[in-house]
Amino acid sequence: MADIQELEKIASQVRRDIVRMVHAVQSGHPGGSLGCTEFLTALYFDILKHNAKSFDMDAKGEDVFFLSNGHISPVFYSVLSRSGYFDVDELNTFRKINSRLQGHPTTHEGLEGVRIASGSLGQGMSVAIGAALTKKMNGEDTTVYTLHGDGELQEGQIWEAALYAPANKVDNLICTIDANGQQIDGSTDDVLSMGSIADKFKAFGWEVMTIEKGNDMTSVVDGLKHAKSLTGKGKPVCVVMHTEMGYGVDFMQGTHEWHGIAPSDDQLAAALGQLEETLGDY
């Protein structure tokens, strides 16, 4: 088990990777990536039972994670490379021609660690249910994880999946909602208010829990461990995780403005000044 200080160090480097990747190509999605850095770091460096060094699409005997909100690919790529799926130098190729690090994650270029394409929103929960059912058929005691944006919940397919999983007792599944309250056109309340996300999943029959401080490493690690303890009891688990978009870079924090724009040279310098280089830049 990694200790919290160690995980925080990794998270700081991941944040540096995110802003540097997006700056280098002047495109990408830094806001949601920065907000989910604690979650993905905790997942890949502490929670998941996985084999980063020899990637196997079938993931037999491994836990599996599906990123449903594929636009936060910078944090996903950074964490995958930092945990050993591929060389960190490859982060240099993000969003460039002939790269395996496409704007949105894909299996198409054979990038280790990615098991489904995502980008068009709302599809990952269904995919995760399928993988969870296969794990049950294969007699595995493993868990399937997903991450979704809160704005993504506006897609109808999510609710088809949300209906299916409890009705069929898919209880080896932990779906986390990144509740940052923001989407491209503004706050989720302004764009299409969803009321209580937790109440909706409860009403659909999920075991629902909350991580109030999704940018606090201890809270995230403890929350994910608690989520794991809730699996295997006849219900899928939904984690409503409150985060701040852009967390860790003061001028990007708490606003939808940095959903999908890149920092300038000066802004990059300011951001890196707030993020300690802990593992060495790529």
Which residue pairs, CB below 8 angstroms and at least 24 apart, start in 155-160? 155/121, 155/122, 156/122, 157/122, 157/123, 157/125, 157/126, 158/122, 158/125, 159/204, 160/126
Tell the smallest beta-carbon distance from residue 133 to other proteins (Å): 6
Of residues 127 and 272, the one with the C-beta less far from other proteins? 127
Tokens coding 252: 């990007």
**H helix or E strand, kind and range, residue 226:** helix 217-229
Tell the smallest beta-carbon distance from residue 58 to other proteins (Å): 5
DSSP-derived 3-state class of residue 172: coil
Tell the smallest beta-carbon distance from residue 76 to other proteins (Å): 15
Of residues 117 and 279, the one with the C-beta less far from other proteins? 117
9 beta partners = none
Contacts of 195 (CB under 8 A, 6+ apart): none
Of residues 175 and 268, the one with the C-beta less far from other proteins? 175
Tell the smallest beta-carbon distance from residue 161 to other proteins (Å): 5
Of residues 38 and 171, the one with the C-beta less far from other proteins? 171
Of residues 164 and 282, the one with the C-beta less far from other proteins? 164
What is the sign, positive or negative, of the torsion defined by CA atoms of 94, 95, 98, 102? positive
> Nearest-CA neighbor of 132 among 99, 108, 165?
165
Of residues 108 and 225, the one with the C-beta less far from other proteins? 108
Tell the smallest beta-carbon distance from residue 60 to other proteins (Å): 6
Q: Measure the CA dihedral 122/164/41/99, to 10°.
A: -40
Q: Which residues bind other proteins (CB under 8 A)?
A: 57-60, 64, 66, 106-108, 115-120, 123-135, 137-138, 156-157, 160-161, 163-164, 168
Tell the smallest beta-carbon distance from residue 123 to other proteins (Å): 5
